[in-house]
Amino acid sequence: MTASTQRIEAAKAALRLQTIELPSWAFGNSGTRFKVFAQQGVPRDPYEKIADAAQVHQYTGVAPRVSLHIPWDLVDDFSDLARHSADLGVSIGMINSNVFQDDDFMLGSLTHPDARVRRKAIDHHKQCIDVMRATGSKDLKVWLADGLNYPGQDSIRGRQDRLADSLQEVYGALDEDQHMVLEYKFFEPAFYITDVPDWGTSLLHCLALGDRASVVLDTGHHAPGTNIEFIVAQLLRQGRLGAFDFNSRFYADDDLMVGAADPFQLFRIMHEIVQAGALAPDSGVNFMLDQCHNIEPKIPGQIRSVMNVQEATAKALLVDAEALLAAQQAGDVLGAHGVLMDAYNTDVRPFLAELRSEMGLEQDPMAAFAASGYAEKVAAERVGGAQAGWGA
C-alpha cells in the first residue's frame, strides 16, 4: 500500500467517525435586525425542529446531535423530547442558555450590578442544567451579551469579579459528568466593552473554575484579520478547547454558512485540529454549526454546511504530514507551503461521494433530500400556529 493510499484510507476512517452538531434555531425563521423572512414549512415547535435536524443526519450520516436553546426550546416534558429525538435517530447535544432577551438583562446578566438580576441569571442557568439532566446532555454552553456601551457606565474590574462569582455558582451546580463551555465575542451588542471579549478572558475564567470548564470558539466572533487557527492551536495545547462553532463572516458576526466567506481559513483551522488529534470522538471537542439561514432553505442550508465542513476536513486529513515536517525542519519555506496547498487544492468531492456510498448513503445529500419530497410535505402540513423562529 502506497503512502498516498494509506492517507486516503486513514482519512476515510476519520471521516466516518466525524460528527457535527446541529443548532435547533437554524431551522426556524431568522433574519437580521431589519427583517425576518418567513418560509413555508418551518418548524412550529421543538419537536418539529428535531424532525428537520434528523433529515440532515439521514442524508449526511454525520449530524447525530441537536443543540437546544433555552427558553426558545422549552417544552413541558424534556424526557419526552429526548425520546422523540432517539426515535428519529438523533440525540440532544449542548444546552444553550439565553440571558440576552429579557428586559432585566439590559445592563448585564451574570455581571449585572444588581444582585437580584444576577440571581435571576444564575437561576436560569440552573434551569438549563435541569434540562441537561432530563435530556441526557452533558454540556452547558454559556454566551453572554453582557458589556458596556460607554466609559464609566460601570466598573470594568467589578464586572469581572461578579462574572467570576456567578460562573462559580453555576459551575458548582453541574453534576460530576457535566461540563461548561464559555463562549466569547469581541463586540455586539456592547460596543465599548464586552465582558467576555476574547479567548484569553474566557480561558482565564475557565482555568479558575476547574477541569470541566472549557472555551467555545465561534469563527464569527473575531476582529477582521484575526488568525483563528493560532487560537485553536493554543487552546488545544492547553486542553481547553471545549467546543467549536462553525459559520462564516464578512464583516461582523454574520452567521453565514461555514466555508462561504473563506474556505481556505476553514481548511487551515481543520489542519490544526487534525494535527493535534482533536478530530477524534474522544478529544473532548464538540464541533457544531451555529448559523442563521435567513434567505436560503433551512434543511438544505444545514446539509450544505455539513458538506463544507467535511470537504475542509478531508483536505486537512490528506496533508502529507511527513513531507510537511521534513520541509519545516529543513527550512524549506516554499516546500512546506506547497505541501499544504497540494492538499487544499485536491478535489475531495469524488472521494467523499465514494465514502458516502460505503456508508450506505446517497452520494449527493443535497439531491437526495430534494428528491425525498420532505420539504413539500412539511410545507403542506405545517399550516397555522406561530412559526418557531429567532427569539421564539
pTM of the model: 0.96
pLDDT at site 391: 58
99 domain residue, yes or no:
yes
5 domain residue, yes or no:
no
32 domain residue, yes or no:
yes
Across the chain, mean pLDDT equals 96
Domain count, the chain: 1
User: Cβ–Cβ contacts within 10 Å for residue 238, how many?
Assistant: 12
Residue 32 clears pLDDT 90, i.e. is over it: no
Query: In what side-by-side order are the strands of the sheet with 22-23?
Result: 22-23, 65-69, 91-96, 139-142, 179-183, 213-218, 241-246, 286-289
37 domain residue, yes or no:
yes
213 domain residue, yes or no:
yes
333 domain residue, yes or no:
no
Q: What is the mean pLDDT of residues 66-93?
A: 98
269 domain residue, yes or no:
yes
Q: What is the mean pLDDT of residues 85-92?
A: 98
Domain CATH code at residue 50: 3.20.20.150
Quick one: cell of 83? Answer: 425520546
Give CA–CA dist 173/178, Å, rounded. 10
Residues 185 and 223: beta-carbon distance below 8 Å: no
Residue 40 clears pLDDT 80, i.e. is over it: yes
329 domain residue, yes or no:
no
Burial, 223: exposed, middle or buried (Cβ in 10 Å; 0-12, 13-18, 19+)? exposed
Residues of the chain by 3-state class (helix, strand, coil), percent to 5: 50, 10, 40
To which residue does cell 460601570 refer?
154
Indicate the pLDDT class of residue 308, thresholds 50, 70 and 90.
very high
pLDDT at site 2: 83
Mapping DSSP to helix (H, G, I), strand (E, B) and coil, where does residue 141 land?
Answer: strand
Residues 346 and 315: beta-carbon distance below 8 Å: yes
Q: What is the mean pLDDT of residues 188-203?
A: 97
pLDDT at site 390: 65
- Domain of 211 in residue numbering reads as 19-317+364-381
pLDDT tens digits, 201-211: 999 999 999 99
- 71 upstream amide cis, omega within 30 of 0: yes
Using a pLDDT cut of 70, give the percent of the chain over it.
99
Residues 63 and 56: beta-carbon distance below 8 Å: yes
Give CA–CA dist 113/118, Å, rounded. 8
Mapping DSSP to helix (H, G, I), strand (E, B) and coil, where does residue 301 land?
Answer: helix
